[in-house]
Structure 1
Amino acid sequence: MPFPLRTLEPLKLCRLEEAGGDGAERGGPALGDPAGAAEGGGGRRRGAVPLFGALEQVSSYALVSLLMQLSDLSRCAGDIFGGILSEADSLCHRNARLQRRLGALEALLARLDHRKVKIRE
């Protein structure tokens, strides 16, 4: 069974990071402090995940997360295609070397004449 070289898993687009994280750990967009969060009021627990303040924040966060996932996917695809290109290049070199050896063997066989070769008894 082959070992996987790369694993890609989809992320939930509109989920914020866990407590204390605002997306900056994974390179995500940082959200502003919602109104009332600086005072610690609003009935929220300390360390709870902040909520989005408006629908525009949700859509922009989802769009940025989607673009980040697509960039990761395109980077992995570039790595995969680069590996395929190097394998095809090495196969081309091996094929050319084999073709030269077969050409030399054909030239050697063309020079041989079965009538001139003496067979010992």
Structure 2
Amino acid sequence: MPFAKRTVEPQRLCRRQPAASVLEESWGAEPPPPRDPPPEEPGTASEGAEAAGGGEREAAAVLMVLDLCSVSNVALSRILRQLSDVARHACTLFQEVEADIQGTHRRVRALHGRIAGLQGAVRGLDPKQEAVRLMKLS
């Protein structure tokens, strides 16, 4: 039974680190201070209060689309990386098969040469000249 030389398994494509661990890695123990919202212009406070519900929904939808795009881009890049790893494994496998085939070809050529030499030696023998004992035939 042949032994496995390589194992290829699919890796996690869309898993992400939790936001807290990403913040800890990039900023240390403390997260960065929140940004102050831009000051509102006078006279637009009542209009802003009415449109805030719709604006927040649109902003959430835009963030979700951006997040989905980033997740799909990350997944596609990881898929491409895994495909390149599989292609590299396939290339090494084909190189090993090619080396085995070349070794077998050399052995077959050597055997063919030996058989050709034996055929020449057998053709050179005269069966009427050589005495064959009857004991060796049975």
Deviations, residues 29-82 of structure 1 (Å, cap 9, x unaligned): xxxx7xxx94287xxxxxxxxxx9611210110110000000000000001111
Q: 1:20: how far off?
A: 5.8
After TM superposition, the structure 1 = structure 2 runs for residues 1-121 of structure 1, keeping only pairs within 5 Å, are 1-16=1-16, 38-39=31-32, 54-118=67-131
CA RMSD of the aligned region, Å? Answer: 2.9
Counterpart-to-counterpart distance in 2, 1:10 and 1:40: 39
Please identify runs of 4+ aligned residues in structure 1 that moved more than 3 A: 17-21, 118-121
When residues 17 and 72 of structure 1 are mapped into structure 2, their CA distance, relative to the original with a 3 A threshold, is farther
Structure of larger gyration radius: 2
TM-score (norm 1): 0.68
By relative contact order (CA 8 Å, sep 6+), the higher-ranking structure is 2
Q: 1:16: how far off?
A: 2.7
TM-score (norm 2): 0.60
Give the helix-richer structure, 1 or 2: 2
